[in-house]
Amino acid sequence: MENIFHTFILDDHPLITNSYEWALRKVLEKREQQLKIKICQSIREASVFLQDRQFLASLDLVFLDIQLPQEEGNKFLSGEDIGVFLKKNGMKAKMIVSTTFTDNYRLNSLLKNMDPDGLLVKNDLTPEELMRAIEAVLSEPPYYSKTVRELMRKQLLNDYTVDSIDRRMLHELSQGAKMKDLPAVLPLSLAGIEKRKRNLKQVFGVEEDRELILKAREKGFI
């Protein structure tokens, strides 16, 4: 029987991908499993493999970086969009998400939208932490790194979830789109879109559209 562990990594920093691979090999040595790994460093490169259902079905573990450079014409705006896509399409592999963001709104949205088996803040990561995270996700998920655990303990996670429609709206506005044009690209009426924008302004504590875009960019939503 094949004893190969299939893994997919999406991250644009080679040092990070090397660290993931090293930690994973250490964990798999204990399990006497061999590693077969595919590493992608861009959304465009990853999009090719996301269309291969056989490839997705073979996976045991996926590592996703959230903050990746946006690419014009690609339906995926971030690693978060890819994670949501994989969940919606029935991927059975465990998922570990990593991010540099520590904002409570952003982390809350990642937890609600993606429901990852592991959520890691990159500043928390050490070789030992990575190995603990992988072992926990494979045996008894979920696993959250120190910063995420602290935020959850202090109840700083906000109830409002910035979902994929909100993020698409923010993206379009940041590119100069007018509100009247958004119903053509979002599955909402103009009134529904305006309500979402008002809600986001309240969540971020801003009043002007320009401030909303700046705050959304600062928090990693665009």
The residue-averaged pLDDT of 68-86 equals 86
Cα distances (Å, whole numbers) of residue 56 to 5, 59, 65, 132, 168: 13, 6, 17, 25, 25
For 170-220, write each residue's pLDDT tens digit: 999 999 999 999 999 999 999 999 999 988 988 888 889 999 999 999 988
Mean pLDDT calculated for residue range 68-83? 85
Using the predicted structure, report yes or no on whether residue 73 has a pLDDT greater than 80.
no
Residue 2 has a pLDDT of: 63
For residues 74 and 13, the model is more confident at: 13
Cα torsion through 149, 154, 214, 207, rounded to 10: 150
Q: Output the pLDDT for position 202.
A: 82
**Domain 4-154 -> CATH class:** alpha beta
Average pLDDT value for the chain: 90
pLDDT value for 152: 75
Cβ–Cβ under 8 Å, residues 40 and 47: no
d(CA 30, CA 178): 56
Q: What's the pLDDT score for residue 70?
A: 78
Answer whether residue 96 shows pLDDT above 50: yes
In this prediction, residues 92-114 reach a mean pLDDT of 89
- Domain spans, the chain: 4-154, 164-219
Residue 103's pLDDT is what?
83
Collapsing DSSP to helix, strand or coil, 62 comes out as strand
Predicted TM-score (pTM) of the model is 0.76
Residue 64 has a pLDDT of 96
* More confident site: 141 or 204: 141
**What pLDDT does 40 receive?**
94
Q: Token pair of 100, please?
A: 């540099």
Report pLDDT for 157: 41
